[in-house]
Amino acid sequence: MAENQLGGQQVLLLPEGASRVLGRDAQRTNIAVAVAVASAVKTTLGPKGMDKMLVSELGDIIITNDGATILEEMNVEHPVAKIMVDIAKTQDKEVGDGTTSVVIMAGELLKGAGDLIEQGIHPTTIIRGYKMAARKATDILNAVARKVSISDDQTLQRIAQVSMGSKNVGDDTTKMHLGKIVISAVKQVMEKNAAGTTVIDHDFIKVEKKAGGAISDTELISGVLIDKEIAHPGMPRDVSNAKIALLDVALEIEKTETEAKIEITSPEQMQAFLQQEERMLKDMVAKIKKSGCTVMFTQKGIDDVAQHYLAKEGILAVRRVKKSDIEKLSRATGARIVTSLDDLSAKDLGFAGIVEERKISGERMVFVEKCKVPKSVTIFVRGGNQQVVDEVERSITDVIGAISSVMMDGKYVIGGGSVEIDVANGLRSYANDVGGREQLAIQKFSDALEVIPKTLAESAGMDAIDTLVQLRSKHRSKEGGVTGVDITKNVIGDMAKQGVFEPLKVKEQAIYSASEAAEIILRIDDMISSKGRAPAGGGPGGMGGMGHED
């Protein structure tokens, strides 16, 4: 319980069991927490990075190399740790890749700031220096970036393989196979908006997974895979050149919202009532048949009687399909979503080369394939067990983000720690021009960027300091600007020749996110936690002095 003195009288500020940390103590604590979070994911960076096993309270196991997933599943309590988790999530949502890098950089920026604070430099001076450094870093990044066209599949393939480099998803051949699938998927859903800008909506790349088979069995479906089975055993199992109706209508006799009472006094009346219900359902099916439909998907239910009539008409029907899947089917097949059967006509129907039900790992699924120009596609992920399938899915999500980023801005940079050395060298020159106390913060920013090549070297078992010194030296010479950490041979090498390319947007976002997270944490000089905690034994109510935890 925190307290204050007013004219000799004790004034209680916070409830019993609350805690408060002030000034330098708050900054030290926050920096220590952020560095600890960064250390937790540091060893996962790069192709030779290690995996983490996370076990939930329920005993669910996740084995992953993905920074955002590790932090999300770690279930951290400290508010600063939650900020670090948030920057990883933002990086994941915005560009899909670079989640580990952004957390490591934020940790290093705070570590550097901690050193400067100990030397007596005010946090606001450090923040000002970091803002200047982040702006300059993005300018340098844009200056060294290279252009790529969406038709340059070779470069896009290299970017895809580097994106999944650290993931345990098979050998180079498997990674190449997955890369080709993602590039094709992104190109198919890519569109130009009214302003002529390339727009890629990731929602229309559905990633469906099922344990079984090998990772190399992962395939791209030019259409949509629905994790449902056909409604009635009498319906056809496959339909070629399907005319598809998408309904948001229940093929059932719906109950009225108001209370209604029907008095039936004889068996004949009961029979007539049931026959009337049957006729209504038969009319619904007749309207569907009249439109020329051969395959039907609905968000709502289908009555048993309606299922029977649909089967008699040879119509393949699937019920209770998710709204998001209906929207994907609409984009893939060109069908319109109809909310009234009276409005259903031939022009509302979509097309698919084949619709068929297949049994995958003991479960029935409906494949809608060979659509003409699908604007929605499905990547069907396979793998030896559930953990492998989950990691392949995470890997594919990262690659979708990386390929989308590079297709939207058409620029990439040299990876393997090469571009970070370029930016760090540029920032050191800039720091000398800036002068004042801010230059110390800019120098710390440049040191923080070098944590990427340093960590890559450590993961490969190389001497991190020697590697860093050699890279700095090489990058000062004109011909050495593409030198990075060659983890295959455990030396420094030409990253451009090896095709280690990364999207510019991923690097930019990482620098901005890491910088902003560090700035927001450095501004905190007082942490008040009102969370009620059992007070420690001692004075009455566990009373402690201001600036201390109970």
| pLDDT tens, per residue, the chain with 550 residues | 445 555 555 555 666 666 777 677 888 888 898 999 899 898 888 888 888 898 888 888 888 888 888 888 887 888 888 888 899 888 888 888 888 899 999 999 999 999 999 898 999 999 999 999 999 999 999 999 999 988 888 999 999 988 887 777 878 888 899 999 999 999 988 888 877 788 888 888 999 999 888 899 999 998 999 999 999 999 999 999 999 999 998 888 776 566 777 787 888 888 887 788 888 888 899 999 999 999 999 999 999 999 999 999 999 999 999 999 999 999 999 999 999 898 899 999 999 999 999 998 888 999 999 988 888 999 999 988 888 898 899 889 889 988 998 988 889 999 888 999 999 999 999 998 888 889 999 999 999 999 999 999 988 888 889 999 988 888 887 666 788 888 888 888 888 888 889 999 999 999 999 999 999 988 888 777 776 544 444 434 433 444 444 3
- Please, where in the chain does CATH 1.10.560.10 lie? 19-147+413-529
pTM of the model as a whole: 0.81
Backbone angles phi, psi at 212, to 5 degrees: 130, 150
Amino acid letter, residue 436: G
Known catalytic residue at 294:
no
pLDDT at residue number 191: 86
Q: Specify whether the CB–CB gap between 10 and 535 falls below 8 A.
A: no
Known catalytic residue at 398:
yes
> Nearest CA to 460 among 493, 506, 507, 482?
493
Provide the Cα torsion 110, 111, 114, 115; round to 10°.
-140
Distance in angstroms (rounded) separating the CA atoms of residues 388 and 367:
23
H-state helical runs in 232-322:
267-290, 304-312
pLDDT at residue number 348: 93
Q: Specify whether the CB–CB gap between 225 and 208 falls below 8 A.
A: yes
531 three-state secondary structure: coil
Distance in angstroms (rounded) separating the CA atoms of residues 1 and 10:
12
- Out of 100, 294, 333, 378, the active site residue is 100
- H or E element: which one contains 277? helix 267-290
In angstroms, how far is CA 186 from the centroid of its own chain?
A: 15
Q: Specify whether the CB–CB gap between 155 and 369 falls below 8 A.
A: no
Second CATH level (architecture) for the domain 19-147+413-529: Orthogonal Bundle (1.10)
Rounded (5°) CA angle 412-448-391: 60
- Out of 44, 51, 64, 66, the active site residue is 66
Q: Which residues of 528-544 are buried (b: 16+ CB within 10 A; e: fewer)?
A: eeeeeeebeeeeeeeeb
Rounded (5°) CA angle 78-451-422: 135
426 three-state secondary structure: helix
34 DSSP 8-state letter? H
Whats the size of the chain, residue-wise?
550
- Out of 398, 422, 447, 486, the active site residue is 398
Residues 6+ away with beta carbon under 8 Å from 143:
none
Distance in angstroms (rounded) separating the CA atoms of residues 62 and 55:
6
What's the maximum distance between 2 C-alpha atoms anywhere in the chain? 100
H-state helical runs in 319-415:
323-333, 386-409
- Please, where in the chain does CATH 3.50.7.10 lie? 224-373
Known catalytic residue at 256:
no
185 three-state secondary structure: helix
11 three-state secondary structure: strand
Known catalytic residue at 99:
yes
Q: How is domain 224-373 classified at the CATH fold level?
A: GroEL (3.50.7)
Rounded (5°) CA angle 531-534-535: 105
- Out of 69, 90, 99, 298, the active site residue is 99
Distance in angstroms (rounded) separating the CA atoms of residues 318 and 301:
9
pLDDT at residue number 258: 66
